Each structure stands twice: as C-alpha cells, then as structure tokens.
Amino acid sequence: MRIVMIGSGYVGLVSGACLADFGHEVICVDKSTEKVEALERGEVPIFEPGLEAIIAHNRASGRLSFSLDLAGPVANADVVFIAVGTPSRRGDGHADLTYVYAAAREIAAAVTGFTVVVTKSTVPVGTGDEIERIFREEFPDKDIAVVSNPEFLREGAAISDFKRPDRIVIGTGDERATELMREVYRPLYLNEAPLYFCERRTSELIKYAANAFLAMKITFINEIADLCENIGADVQKVAKGIGMDKRIGDKFLHAGPGYGGSCFPKDTLALVKTAQDFDSPLRLIETTVMVNDNRKRAMGRKVIAACDGTVRGKKIAVLGLTFKPNTDDMRDAPAITIVQALLDGGADVHVFDPEGMEAAKAVLGPVTYGTNPYEIATDAEAIVVVTEWDEFRALDFRRLKQEMKAPVIVDLRNIYKPEEMAKYGFKHLPIGKRT
C-alpha cells in the first residue's frame, strides 16, 4: 500500500513514521525545504520520545522517505493523508483552513487512478463536504473519495498512542474507501484497536467533542482543587475517589495550572465558534475556555501570595516551561502567562526546562535562562514548578534549602509530598490541598 502524508508536522511525522513501521510504503511531503532536508539527513525537527529511532529504521529499510514534491508521490498513491496545520484564525478563533484547501487542490490536480484523500488534521464539521465539493466542481474527471480520520495521539506519548489507540475513527460512506482504510489500519488489528466507522461529519465532530470533553474534565478538577484549598480537602484524593467510579474514569483528573498546548486551547475555541454559528451554543465549553484562561493568571497570583504578597525585586525560579513534559512545545503553555504575571509584579525571573528552552526564548519576556534547577534556585525566594518533568521529582532539597534565600516551593503539579517538604523545612504550596 502506498501512502502519502501531506505535512510533516507533529501529526504527519508521527503517523507517517508509524505507518511505515507497520510495513506500508510512506512518503511524507512538506513545503519547507529546511525541514525536508533535515529529515533526509536523519534530523528530527521535534522532540518526541522514540520518534527518531523509528524514522531512522524505516528510512534505512526504504519504506519511509521525504519529499518537497507533492505531485509525483500523489500520482502513485492509494491513500493521501492531509496532516497540515489548522491554527486559530486571527480575530475570530475559527480554525484556519487555508492550508487544508490548498493541499486538497494540489492533491486533486495530481491524482491519477482512484485515490482516497483523508483529513487527519483536526478540521471543523463540514470540511470534508467542502473538499468534496471542490473536487466535484473543479476536478470533475478525478476519481477521489474524501474520508475523515482524526488523530487522538498525545505529544510525549505519540508513538504508543498511535500504535495502541483506544479506537480509530473513520468517517466515510464510500465502500471502496472503507476497504482501503481497513487495509491502512490492518496492522493495528493485532493490537486489538477497534475501527469505528461512521458518517464523515460525525467523525469530524468526534475529534472536537473528545478534546472539549477532556479539557472540561481537567477544568472541572481544577475548580474542585480551588474548592479543596478553601474547604480543607485533598484534590488528589477526591480525584482518586471519583475516578474509581468507572463512569467517571481516573484519567485526566490531575489538577494543575490549566491546560495548554497546540490542541485543547485551539480546538475548544473553534468548537465554541462553530456551535455559536449554528445557533447551538455549548455553554459548558464556553465556560471551560474562560475558566482555563483565568486560571493561568490566577497561578501567577498564587506565587505572588506565597511570597508574602509581592515579588518585586525578588528572584523567582521557574522549573518547567513546556505545556507538559516530554515535549519541547511551548504553544499556549501556562508558563507564558505565569512568567508574565511575575515579570509584571517586578520579579527577577530565572527559568529552566529540559527541552523547551529554545522555543521559550521566542515567547517569554526578559527572563534569565539557567542550565539546571540548582543554578536558578540559588538566592531565589521561591521555586515554582510549572511542568512536571521527571527530573524535577528527586531534587536534593537539603542543597536547595541552603542555596535559596527563602525556602518556598509553589508546586503547581503536585509532584512533592507536603509531609516531606515540611520535613526539609520548606513552605510548600501544592494545588488543591491545605498545608
């Protein structure tokens, strides 16, 4: 089976590499000369555990290759995935589909025999219909079926999420396309991943509804965390206690500084806009978006409160910048808002992240970039844990206590035990529990 992946960003690269690993012949196409040349040299432009090895292995076996040219690979393909970006449109929050439609037109111009064109990018309901209309009206002699197949992988766990998904959603009413999509995902039957076929519009909405629900679940536990702090309960125990109910489930109930990343903020906003356009407002998700935005600013205030009400002239050490661990992605990371609040309060902010420093430089204000946690903690009046990287779990607290000016830890991810922090003599402020 010959597969072409248009767009070698996060989703395109991971999906392309994993499909090649399953034995398909895959060509990943991208318009960026720099990116394609780097990939051809074996350099992977994103940090994702395990990805580099899979790419290297499949390039060596000849199943995976990269191309700037779209027309050649597409002319010989059975299935072409569109995995280009769908950023938030400036001004109105709708998904910007410019790249999707441009890719669709280029693909249609290039296809020869029957070809399945699959949207893997997250696209609003009706995008598949619009692509089909473009094909029908502008390329009437081409034989193309348009399928929706959203991706549910998480950054940092992308390879295992792709290879062992909870489900694969495929939206199509076309029989030939159904057969070809079964063929694409046949290797995953071994992992017992269910293929869930439905109408294309339903499939497009499943992706948004899933992300919105997860964002809402996180926001729910974050609000419960605030209540815990005021009422004298422990959010981690509440999460565990409700999570044991199978109807609720124990995943995505970690209270923190608010969700960030390239998906939840963008997709919740786009879904809210779509729902408003169809006069069917999603009040729960509108509120989720608002509560999450406010929360990031509230985390800045929490740090200031921990420093006796002011950070002016104080050195504050921020541990972890990326929107979650095991990625170098800073898109919509809570750290951006938190650091800004500290800078606005007059703090001298020092930061460290194991993988996100380069990306952080483009989005953070005037901060000092350190090389390890101890360096930035020296003379600091508070450490703020924003991202729960494993390497922050077992720091040498005796040493930190000696080197800091004031032993304060604001633990926005609950990675430390309050009893232990008390033992080391720290003023420890976790999320969702009184100390």
Size of the site for ligand UGA (CB under 6 A): 20
Binding to ligand UGA, residues 127-166 (CB under 6 A):
151-155
| Residues whose CB is less than 8 angstroms from the CB of residue 100 and which lie 6 or more positions away in sequence, other chains included | 82, 84, 86, 119, 121, 123, 127, 131
Output the CA–CA distances (angstroms, integers) from residue 278 to 209, 283, 344, in the order listed.
Answer: 15, 13, 40
Q: Does residue 323 bind ligand UGA (CB under 6 A)?
A: yes
Cα dihedral 218/219/221/227 (nearest 10): 160
Q: Does residue 12 bind ligand UGA (CB under 6 A)?
A: no
Shortest distance in whole angstroms from residue 80 CB to ligand UGA: 20
Shortest distance in whole angstroms from residue 119 CB to ligand UGA: 13
Q: Does residue 432 bind ligand UGA (CB under 6 A)?
A: no
Task: Name which position in 58, 86, 127, 211 contacts ligand UGA (CB under 6 A).
Answer: 211
- SS3 assignment, position 344: helix
Give the active site residue among 28, 228, 263, 307.
263
Q: Does residue 208 bind ligand UGA (CB under 6 A)?
A: no
Do residues 212 and 288 lie in contact, with contact meaning Cβ atoms separated by under 8 Å? yes
Do residues 377 and 403 lie in contact, with contact meaning Cβ atoms separated by under 8 Å? yes
Give the residues across from 383 on adjacent strands.
317, 409
Shortest distance in whole angstroms from residue 257 CB to ligand UGA: 7
Our answer to whether residue 228 is catalytic in this structure is no
Do residues 313 and 348 lie in contact, with contact meaning Cβ atoms separated by under 8 Å? yes
Q: Does residue 385 bind ligand UGA (CB under 6 A)?
A: no
Task: Name which position in 77, 80, 123, 214 contacts ligand UGA (CB under 6 A).
Answer: 214
Q: x/- site string to ligand UGA, residues 100 to 129, per CB under 6 A? A: ----------------------x-------
DSSP 157: S
Q: x/- site string to ligand UGA, residues 23 to 62, per CB under 6 A? A: ----------------------------------------
What is the rounded CA–CA span in Å between residue 281 and residue 157?
33
Q: Does residue 349 bind ligand UGA (CB under 6 A)?
A: no
What is the rounded CA–CA span in Å between residue 214 and residue 236?
17
Q: Site residues (CB under 6 A) for ligand UGA?
A: 122, 151-155, 211, 214, 218, 252-254, 256, 259-261, 263-264, 323-324
